[in-house]
Structure 1
Amino acid sequence: MEKMPWRILEGKKIIGSLGSIIGEVVDLIFNDEDGKLVFIEVKPVEGSILDIEEGKNVLIPYKLVNSIKDVVVINEELLEGEGIKTKVVKVIKD
């Protein structure tokens, strides 16, 4: 992915690769040794699939990021494997 100033990411909406609402970017966590981006701190928003205590943020590994454009798209199917709990969303078919 191309380099961009941190301020461009601040407040960007985050959605899952399956279209789920995740939250918005609050902060970025970098590796002190090599300067690489390791985590995105995310504040859940209304309707978020993140299953965390209200008022808390969650760190999502940068390796889950698929793309950054108008929104940040992450691979939501891998969240549980990273220890990030999600709410079960039930799809009802007619």
Structure 2
Amino acid sequence: MCCFFTSLVFFGPRLAFLIYWLLAPLKVAVAFESFNLPWLVGIMGLIFAPWTALMFVIVFPLNGFDWIWLGFGILADVVSYTGGFHNRQKVPYYTGP
């Protein structure tokens, strides 16, 4: 798990999720097995909502307060997307809308 935490800190949730998928493939498979195409859901989560997918896999049998951790993952994804949207005006030579 040392590799997981190091990659999360230095490279972000996408690489951390990939490393977690390599270290515990059965846990990821069990977490996504209720979907029709579990491998596709995992890849889509990796691309579009990495914090949510990572939290979902880590706290998988969701019960009790685990929903709060999943909410933090959703919040982290929303904040990362909206933060990039609002800070685009600070980029030098940006001529957007």
TM bucket, shorter chain: under 0.3
TM-score (norm 2): 0.25
Structure whose CA Rg is larger: 2
TM-score (norm 1): 0.25
Higher relative contact order (CA 8 A, sep 6+): 1
> Greater strand share, 1 or 2?
1
> Greater helix share, 1 or 2?
2
